[in-house]
């Protein structure tokens, strides 16, 4: 008989042969696999952190143009939270933090030079 077509058999304790059964892990009453639970719970947290990184960047970018008194601190907070939650978009979170700091520097410059918190052009 050809070895390629010969079915794999195995002897059991009684000495009878039969088809080989796939190996099975022993059943235990232990808690579910923690790594699998962490992987499923980490995914929503990670995507939420990615959203915070993008929000930080957008708030920082918009804050350089308008509303830097509100959007600058929001960019700093969202960027910090995204980094704390281990975002995949670390560069975007850092850029949002940098833009948020620039927003606050612009605000500080406007307050000290003009005594106002808004942009204006001209005299």
- Whether 25 is in a domain gets the answer no
- Whether 112 is in a domain gets the answer yes
Contact 94, 56 (CB under 8 A): no
Q: Is 120 helix (H, G, I), strand (E, B) or coil?
A: coil
Provide the number of structural domains found in the chain. Answer: 1
**Across-strand partners of 11?**
17
Domain that holds residue 93: 44-117
Residue 92, pLDDT score? 96
Please report which confidence band the pLDDT of residue 2 belongs to, taking 50, 70 and 90 as the band edges: low
The proportion of the chain whose per-residue pLDDT surpasses 70, expressed as a percent, equals 59
What is the number of other CB atoms lying within 10 angstroms of the CB of residue 97?
22
Residue 32, pLDDT score? 52
- Whether 75 is in a domain gets the answer yes
- Whether 58 is in a domain gets the answer yes
- Whether 86 is in a domain gets the answer yes
pLDDT at 60 over 90: yes
The proportion of the chain whose per-residue pLDDT surpasses 90, expressed as a percent, equals 40
- Whether 24 is in a domain gets the answer no
Mean pLDDT of the chain: 77
pLDDT at 28 over 70: no
């Amino acid at each position: 008989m050809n070895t390629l077509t010969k079915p794999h058999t195995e002897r059991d304790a009684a000495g009878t042969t039969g088809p080989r059964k796939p190996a099975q892990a022993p059943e235990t009453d232990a808690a579910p696999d923690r790594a699998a639970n962490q992987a499923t719970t980490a995914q929503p947290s990670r995507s939420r952190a990615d959203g915070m990184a993008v929000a930080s960047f957008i708030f920082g970018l918009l804050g350089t143009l308008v509303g830097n008194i509100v959007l600058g601190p929001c960019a700093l907070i969202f960027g910090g939270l995204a980094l704390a939650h281990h975002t995949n978009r670390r560069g975007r979170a850092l850029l949002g933090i940098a833009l948020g700091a620039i927003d606050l520097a612009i605000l500080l410059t406007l307050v000290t030079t003009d005594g106002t918190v808004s942009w204006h052009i001209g005299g």
